Structure 1
Amino acid sequence: MDLLPIRRALLSVTDKTGLAAFAEFLQRGGVELVSTGGTRKALQDAGLAVTSVSRVTGFPEILDGRVKTLHPHIHAGILADKDNPEHRRTLAKHQLAAFDLVCVNLYNFADALKAGLSLPDMVERIDIGGPTLLRASAKNFQSILVVPGAAYYPRVQRELADKDFHVGLPLRRDMAAATFKLTSEYDAMIASYMAR
């Protein structure tokens, strides 16, 4: 798919810099916003309408927030190939809605390292759902736009504004590459810590 219409977005960020303005821009363009706990609250506090991930999945966040987005109602909507008729039929059969944009940034493991936290506290700073969302979206860049941090909001907004809330394949590929670089660096930092 060359031009992807952006109609449904999943936002789940630790760093909320610029989030409200970015989400407001999306909502003004008719994009449905879906979000997790803290991000959802920040968006609601900014006066935006947002659907909770728990409502989409039909399941509450559990294990102190360790499990919230790891669910077929989320990942099928991210990994479905929109050019594949069988994928579209599977979504329809199971009443799953596709996502068009995933905006995620990760728990700040580098800051936790600087703080010299205990091993149990460091373990809690290892993001699981975030990298999973990022990698799934980056893998499926043909059918979804991944936005791995606030630094990319202006570029994404420019393209959406220029293309009537569609994004081209070059931007989606660039964001996928940036995402895989980010997740590989994140994993390398954790691996280095664990090896010490």
Structure 2
Amino acid sequence: MDLLPIRRALLSATDKGGLVEFAGFLAENGVELVSTGGTYKTLEAAGLTVTPVSRVTGFPEILGGRVKTLHPHIHGGILADKDDPAHMDTLKELGIVPFDLICVNLYDFASAVAKGLDLRGAVEEIDIGGPCMLRASAKNFHSVLVLPSPTHYARAMEEMRANAMGVTLDFRREMAALTFDATSKYDRMISDYLSGTAKA
């Protein structure tokens, strides 16, 4: 589809800069907000109505937060092709609600390394669910808008204001390309760190 209406968003942001303002804009325009851990607490504290991911999945965050978004009710809602009736029928059959916007920025691995954490401590700062959601959303840019950084909030709001809360395919494709660039750099940073470590 060319113009994608934004009705449901998942927000999970390590960098909270501009987050409350952006989420507030979405909420004021009728967008359902779903969120994880610290992001959920930030939005709730700001007085926004937000659904925790655990309510969507029906499963609590486990393993110290290592597993929270790796679930069919999240990734099915991200990866469904809205132009494919079979995909939409599957979502309906399984009770999965599609997402239109994924706003994720990753654990700050560079800062963790700069703090001089030991190997095990540094490894805990490697984001898994975030890159999975980013890559899934970027792959499915025909049906989802992905925003990998707070630097894109202003443009996204401009797009939505100009298109009655819709976003164009060109914008979604641009954000998808930037997302794959961001995840590739993130993986390279981790690879460089691990390959420079003498032993585990």
TM-score for both structures, normalised by structure 1: 0.99
**Paired positions, count:** 196
1:120-139 alignment runs, 5 A limit: 120-139=120-139
Amino acid of the structure 1 residue aligned with 2:32: E
Q: Report the alpha carbon displacement of residue 162 of structure 1 after superposing the two structures with TM.
A: 0.7
CA distance in 2, matches of 1:84, 1:50: 29
CA distance in 2, matches of 1:154, 1:37: 24
SS at match of 2:20: helix
CA distance in 1, matches of 2:101, 2:79: 11
In the other structure, the counterpart of 1:104 is: 104
TM-score for both structures, normalised by structure 2: 0.97
Q: Report the alpha carbon displacement of residue 10 of structure 1 after superposing the two structures with TM.
A: 0.2
In the other structure, the counterpart of 1:152 is: 152
The runs of at least 4 consecutive aligned structure 1 residues that moved more than 3 Å come to: none
Q: Report the alpha carbon displacement of residue 190 of structure 1 after superposing the two structures with TM.
A: 0.2
Amino acid of the structure 2 residue aligned with 1:81: D
Q: Report the alpha carbon displacement of residue 93 of structure 1 after superposing the two structures with TM.
A: 0.5
Question: How big is the alpha-carbon RMSD for the aligned residues of Structure 1 and Structure 2?
Answer: 0.4
CA distance in 2, matches of 1:181, 1:112: 21
Between the aligned residues of both structures, percent identity stands at 63
Q: Report the alpha carbon displacement of residue 37 of structure 1 after superposing the two structures with TM.
A: 1.1
Q: What 5-or-longer segments of structure 1 have no aligned partner?
A: none
SS at match of 2:70: coil
1:25-104 alignment runs, 5 A limit: 25-104=25-104
CA distance in 1, matches of 2:115, 2:30: 41
In the other structure, the counterpart of 2:183 is: 183
CA distance in 1, matches of 2:112, 2:59: 30
